[in-house]
Structures are given as structure tokens and as C-alpha cells.
Amino acid sequence: MIGAQLTGNLMQGLILGGIYGMATMGLSLIFGVLKVVNVGHGAFIMIGAFITLWIFTAFGLAPVIAIPVALIVGMAIGFVFFYLVMRRLIKAPELASLLATFAIGILLEEIAKLIFGSEFRGYNWAVGKIILPITVFPMSKIYAFIGSIAIALLLYIWFKKTRAGTAVRSVVEDSEGARVCGVNVGWVYALSFAIGIGLTVTSGVLLTMFIPVGINPYMGGGYTLKAFVIAVLGGLTSPYGAFFGGLIFGLIENGSYTLFALIPGVEAFAMTRFLSFLILLLILLIKPTGLLGAK
Amino acid sequence: MKGKIVKYYPLIPVYIAYLILFLIGINVSGMWQLVAMLAFYCAIGQAFNIFLGMTGYVDFGYVAFMGVGTYGMALSISHLHQVQWLGMGIIIIGLLLALVMASLLSIAVGAVALRLRGAYFAIATIGVNEGFRFLIEGAKIWGGSEGIIFSGQLTQTFGRETASLLSTLWADIFLFFIACIAAFITIYYMRGKIGYALTALREDEDAAKVMGINVTKYKIIAFITSASLAGLVGASAWALKLTYVFPPQVFEIHYTVECIIIVLLGGAGTLLGPVVGGLVYGLTKYWLTVIVPGFQLLIFAPIIIVIIVAFPEGIVGVLKRRFKGTTFKKFII
């Protein structure tokens, strides 16, 4: 009985994990290139969620349509904040960039509150479901999972096969060396920040396809913290590491929730979160290059 | 002997500022609440500055120390209120407990997280803060997610009048006291061996290590000092004042960010900085709450961004440059 329940939850966890992973790729890309931790990460996810809600309720279009819209809006926001703020903070101490990204997050949350109000919203995109003996998958979750894998693959190809992708990788490796070899490092910074934000906003679309309720200006905070754990699992600087970190995190989150729920006298939800931060600390201490990273 | 006293001259403007604030608070009716809020921001800014300003390490989980301090006081009052002969002693035990619990947590965190640098340290400390909160909620330690409510015990022990005086007056006066101690410790560290060691560390940690400075030791000292003071602030500003503890509130990351803003606004690593930062931050926040209630953050966030970009050295940093070479120089550090 518990075995079937665990297997079912792990399957759900794997799918959610794929979306978590995609939602963290932007954070890792920005840290890898700019060495800036985007503490306002969750606010960008929130923007993606509201874009989906808006496209679905105002135009009656499928949330999938929101993916390109979110990517374009996200990249535009990314360029704006890069040239207005982040460009000046790349060489500054961590203090400045941490506070600036946090403030950007607050600004976006407050703008969203001004426009949409602070009540929780949701939508219902019923496109059938797959019923297995142990669990049920709504098709929207499956589409979200496929979407996140496709985006991760596209990013991989872009990194490995295009000139711009190679330039970004060279800056991650050694920004001074890249500059010497004629890479326009300033442009790589701007492009990476914009793509990172674009990916994060897009992941907001996929996350609402998985969880279409609870859309609220302040929904991002929890995702920011999850993204930190996932990014650390993946070694912080690598977007694909983050994707696999997300898969692992999804499995751990759902698996441990099922197991903690069996223990009397504990709150399973909170213990799951505790476990994730314990993992974060252990990885940072033992293997800061991430689970998959090389020494 | 004279040299020793001159060392402490910069404390004069700080203490004068606190005295004026205190006098305004007790003499002008209706001002005490605002003054108490400003004292809170100054105290926590100064406490945070001892670590952040001196080492340049960003502790994003700083609020955890205020949180455990709050628990220290709450545990003392809720468990010891039946012991009649202790009287006011339970408040003192509460403060001591807050001090001990905050420093124990900081030793544990410091031993783990201070091995990491830069962004990795910031992420690790966020992890500690959130992890600790969820451990309390998940394992139902100290009342779990329901927290501890002890206003009943407080009135039962001290009577209604004394209990309300404790929350509305003495808790705030104690904040002034903590702020004064924090200022003294700051200057004591700055002008001592530890200050020079930490300056070397902040500029270039590896070089400092090579020069034979025991950087780990000084980092840990600054970390524990800063955390213990935070514990005391939590015990008085949150536990005594609100008479309850509620985990999501005492581990709320926004408070850490407020501390960072105060230190950065005033000038990191300066003595006067957190005081100026605390006053400016507190007054601006209060003023925005009055004129644009509900939208203060919408206006505040861009202000913060502009300050970070335009004045990264903070108000006191700018003043220091302006008054270089004048008599005021002695007082502005």
C-alpha cells in the first residue's frame, strides 16, 4: 500500500522536478556568468504565472501559448534591469548585488500587487488526464514536463552549437581570458542576464501548468528558496546541473513527504523543507561543485 | 592614557544622537512608538555591522539569531513564571538565555558556514535560517508552528501594570542600552587588533592569511558578537514587546534585508553608519507608511536600487570624504 503510494508520489515528483529544474536554470546561468545571486528570482516566476493567467482568462488561449510570450517579456525585463542596474554592480561586493536583486524582486511584487491585487487566483485548463493504477496525471502537467525538457534541450543546443553560446561558456570559464580572446564580455553579461530572466519567467508558465492555483504577487518567495537548494545540488554555475538538480529535488521532496507523513507527531510539509535545507548545507560543505560537478 | 580616551571620541556623536532620540521620546507625547522603532533599527543595524561591515561577509540568515533570542525570552517566561521568588529574575534569565542560545547557534553556524565565501556563504546562511525555522515547525519544537504565547504568564507574574510597562517602555529602553553597547564594541574592535585583522581580511582574505593573521578566529569572534547582540534585540524588541513568538515571523528574511539596507545606507564598516542608516531608514519607512499607506514598498524598492548604484559607500562614507582633514574627522568614523 505504502509502496504504491510512494511510487506514485515519486512519479509526480519526477515531473515536478523537471519543472523545478527548468525554473532554476536561469538562476544558475546568471550566477555562472555574472557571479550574482538573483535573490529576487521568485518574483520573475510570479510574472510568468500572471502572464499565463492573463492569456488564459482574457483571451481564452491555452497556457502553452504563454511560453513564447513569457520568454520575450522576460528577456526584455532582463535587458532593462541589466542596463539600468546590474551592469554597474558586476564588480561591486556581493552586498550590493544581493540587495539590488532583492529590491528588484520587491519592486516587481509591488507592481504586480498594484495591477492584480493580492488575492490568490487560479485557472482551470482541463485537457484530460492519464489515469494509472497508482496515480493520476492531468495532461497539463505532462505538457509542462515536455515543455521544460524541450526548453532545457534547446538551451543545451544553443550553448554547444552557436557562437553566442560558446562565448557565454567561455565567460563562465574565465572572463578575463575570454576578453583577451576578443569576446565582447559586456554583451555576454547582458545576453546571459536577459536569457536567465527569460527562462525564469517562462518557468512561471510551466509551474502554473503544474499547479494552476495560488497565483499571487508574493508566490515567488518559496520558489526562490527551492531554487537555491536546486542550484547548489547542480553546482550553482551550470544550467544543466540545475536541471538535473531539479529532477533530484523533485524526487526527494515528494519521496520524503510521503515518508515523513508516516511519522506521528511531526509536520511532514515542514520536515520536507527542513530536509532540503539540510541537503543544501551538506552539499555546500562536502561538494560545493554540485552532485554532478567535477572536482 | 590620553591616547586611550581619544580612541573613543567617535562614540560622542553616537551617544549624543541616542540621548536626543531618547529625550524626544519621553518628553514629546505620542513620539515614543516612533522613537522605539528608530532605536530598534539603530540597535540591529549596529549589531549587524559588527559582522557584515567589518568582514564584508553577507549573512543573509541574520534574522535567525534574533529569532532564537526571542525564543530564549519566551521560554524563560513561559516555563519559569510559576517560580514565585524569581520575580524580575525571569526577565534577566530570559536575556541570558537569549544571549546563550544566539551565541550557541552562531558557533554552530559559524563553524559550518564561515568556511564558505561570497555568494556561497550568503546562500548557506539563508539555508540555516530557513532550515532552523522548518525544523521548529516540523518537529514541533517549542510549540511548533503555533509558537509560544506568553502575555498571560507575564501579567500573571507581574500584574497588569508592570507587564504593560515592560512591553511598552522597558523593552525599548533596553534597546537603547543594546545600541550603546554595540557602538562601544564596534569602536573597541575597530581600534584594536581584531579591527586591523578584519580590515586585512575584508580587503584580501588570502593575503591576510599569508601574512600570518588567524582570519578564522577573528571572523568567528565578530560573528558571535554580532549574533549575541541580535539575540538580545530579539529578546527585548520582539519577545518582551509582542509577548508571543511565531516562527514564520521571527525567521522572516525581510528583517535580514532591512539590516543590510540600514548598514549599506549608512556606510558599511563605519561606526556612525548604522546609526545614520537606522534613523534615515526608520524615518523614511514611517513617513512613507503615513503618506502612501500600502504602497511604501513600491516607492522604497527603487530608492534602494538608486542608493546601491549611486552611493555604494553610504551616507557616512560620503561625509567621511567631505570632512577629510578637518576637525570633524575625529568624530566621523
In this prediction, residue A294 has a pLDDT band, given cuts at 50, 70 and 90, of low
Q: What are phi and psi of A137, to 5 degrees?
A: -110, 110
Separation of alpha carbons B231 and B99, rounded Å? 6
Distances (CA, A) of B5 to B130, B191, B193: 43, 11, 17
pLDDT at A79 (0 to 100): 96
The pLDDT score that the predictor gives to residue B44 is 94
How many pairs of residues across A and B have Cβ atoms under 8 Å apart?
Answer: 136
User: In chain A, how many domains are there?
Assistant: 1
Q: Looking at the domain assignment, is residue A291 inside a domain? A: no
Chain A partners of B119 at a C-beta cutoff of 8 Å?
A: 31, 35-37, 94, 98, 236
Q: How far apart are CA A233 and CA A281, in angstroms?
A: 10
Residue B35 has pLDDT above 50, yes or no: yes
What is the mean pLDDT of the segment spanning B128-132? 90
> Is B127 in Cβ contact with A277 (below 8 Å)?
yes
Asked if the Cβ–Cβ distance from B295 to A104 is below 8 Å, we say: no
pLDDT above 60 (res B1): no
The three three-digit cell numbers of residue B56, written as one number: 564584508
CA dihedral sign, ordered B68, B70, B73, B75: negative
Q: Which residue has the higher pLDDT, B3 or A182?
A: A182
- What CATH number does the domain containing A10 carry? 1.10.3470
Q: Sorting pLDDT into bands at 50, 70 and 90, what band is B229?
A: very high
Q: Where are the alpha helices (DSSP H) in A162-215?
A: 163-173, 175-180, 185-210
Q: Does B144 touch chain A (CB under 8 A)?
A: yes
Q: Is B245 helix (H, G, I), strand (E, B) or coil?
A: strand
**Residue B298 at interface with chain A, using a CB cutoff of 8 Å:** yes
- What gap in Å lies between CA A107 and CA B295, rounded to an integer? 10
Residue A41 lies in a domain: yes
A222: containing domain: 2-286
pLDDT at B294: 80
Residue A130 per-residue DSSP state: E
B257 to A278: CB separation less than 8 angstroms, yes or no: no
CB contact under 8 A, B60 and A281: no
Residue B253: helix, strand or coil by DSSP? helix
Which one of A36, A106, A274 has the shortest CB-CB distance to B297? A106
Checking if the pLDDT of B237 tops 60, the result is yes
Q: Which residues of B touch A268 (CB under 8 A)?
A: 138
What's the pLDDT at B116? 85
Q: Chain A neighbours among B 50-69 (CB < 8 Å)?
A: 52, 56, 58, 60
| Residue A145: inside a domain | yes
Query: Dihedral angle at the C-alpha atoms of B48, B53, B55, B61, nearest 10 degrees?
Result: 30
Nearest to A266 among B120, B124, B139 (CB): B139
pLDDT of residue A251: 92
Q: Does B137 touch chain A (CB under 8 A)?
A: yes
Rounded percentage of chain A residues whose pLDDT exceeds 90: 45
**What ipTM was reported for this prediction?**
0.87
Segment A186-190 shows an average pLDDT of 92
Any idea which residue has 562614507 for its cell? B317
Put simply, whether B111 touches A (Cβ < 8 Å) is no
pLDDT digits (tens, 9 = 90+) for A245-279: 999 999 998 888 888 888 887 888 888 889 989 88
Q: What pLDDT is recorded for position B232?
A: 93
Distance of alpha carbon B133 from alpha carbon A273, whole angstroms:
9
pLDDT value of position B2: 54
Tell if the CB–CB gap between B128 and A225 is shorter than 8 Å: no
Cβ-defined contact of A95 to B264 (cutoff 8 Å): yes
Distance from CA of B170 to the nearest CA of A (A): 33
> Looking at A128-137, A240-249, A284-293, which range is the least confident one?
A284-293
Rounded Cα gap, residues A211 and A193, in angstroms? 27
Contact B138 A93 (CB under 8 A): no
Nearby residues of A106 by Cβ (< 8 Å), 6 or more positions away: A40, A43, B297, B300, B301
| Domain range list for chain B | 2-330
Contact A99 B264 (CB under 8 A): yes
Whole-Å CA distances, B13 to B47, B183, B271, B329: 18, 11, 10, 12
Fold of B2-330: ABC transporter involved in vitamin B12 uptake, BtuC (1.10.3470)
pLDDT digits (tens, 9 = 90+) for B179-204: 999 999 999 998 888 888 888 888 88
Q: Is the pLDDT of residue B280 over 80?
A: yes
Res. A295 pLDDT band, cuts 50 70 90: very low
- Given a cut of 90, is residue B332 above it in pLDDT? no
> Which of B281, B220, B236, B297 lies closest to B59, judged by CA?
B220
Q: Is residue A269 part of a domain?
A: yes
* Alpha-carbon torsion (A211, A217, A218, A222), positive or negative: positive
Sign for the CA dihedral angle at A106, A272, A143, A131 comes to: negative
Q: For B135, which of A85, A109, A274 is closest by C-beta distance?
A: A274
In a domain, A295, yes or no: no
Task: Provide, as residue numbers in chain A, all residues whose Cβ is less than 8 Å from the Cβ of B138.
Answer: 260, 266-274
